[in-house]
């Protein structure tokens, strides 16, 4: 199905070569939630050329978009249960569950604002995987 606006999703060569050993049921929901969140905000902000990128920076996975990003005042509670700024469809458990799933495997996630990890001008989430292989 093609929509009026096309969304471009790019994965870097480094991201495509990244691998880790963990339970897929723990890792896949993290990526699904981050991508769904990006799509929600890109569509609702009516970004003219919406883009999502999956990249590796300093050995970490970055999931980034060119949407509105997170208001700096909201960053401290971003991963707390029941926190959401979505007008519809948000229950505020997605990012909380992302963090808990990753913690269970010894991994971590954070919202990043520093230029070293910022891939696109919107939301940039950095995942640090324990014992991941790149390349």
pLDDT tens, residue by residue, 56-115: 999 999 999 999 999 999 999 999 998 788 767 677 889 999 999 999 999 999 999 999
Are the beta carbons of 97 and 103 closer than 8 angstroms?
no
pLDDT tens, residue by residue, 96-110: 999 999 999 999 999
SS3 11: strand
Dist CA 60 CA 39 (whole Å): 22
What is the pLDDT, as a whole number, of residue 2?
42
Give the pair of three-digit tokens for residue 89.
Answer: 């469809």
Long-range contacts of 27-30 (CB under 8 A, 24+ apart): 27/101, 27/105, 29/97, 29/98, 29/101, 30/98, 30/101, 30/102, 30/109, 30/127
């Amino acid at each position: 199905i093609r929509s009026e606006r096309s969304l471009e999703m790019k994965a870097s060569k480094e991201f495509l070569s990244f691998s880790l050993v963990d339970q897929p049921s723990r890792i896949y929901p993290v990526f699904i939630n981050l991508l769904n969140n990006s799509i929600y905000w890109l569509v609702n902000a009516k970004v003219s050329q919406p883009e999502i990128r999956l990249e590796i920076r300093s050995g970490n996975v970055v999931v980034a978009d060119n949407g509105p990003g997170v208001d700096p005042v909201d960053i401290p509670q971003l991963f707390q249960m029941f926190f959401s700024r979505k007008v519809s469809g948000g229950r505020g458990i997605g990012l909380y569950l992302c963090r808990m799933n990753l913690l269970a495997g010894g991994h971590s996630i954070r919202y990043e604002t520093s230029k070293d990890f910022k891939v696109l001008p919107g939301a940039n989430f950095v995942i640090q995987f324990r014992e991941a292989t790149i390349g």
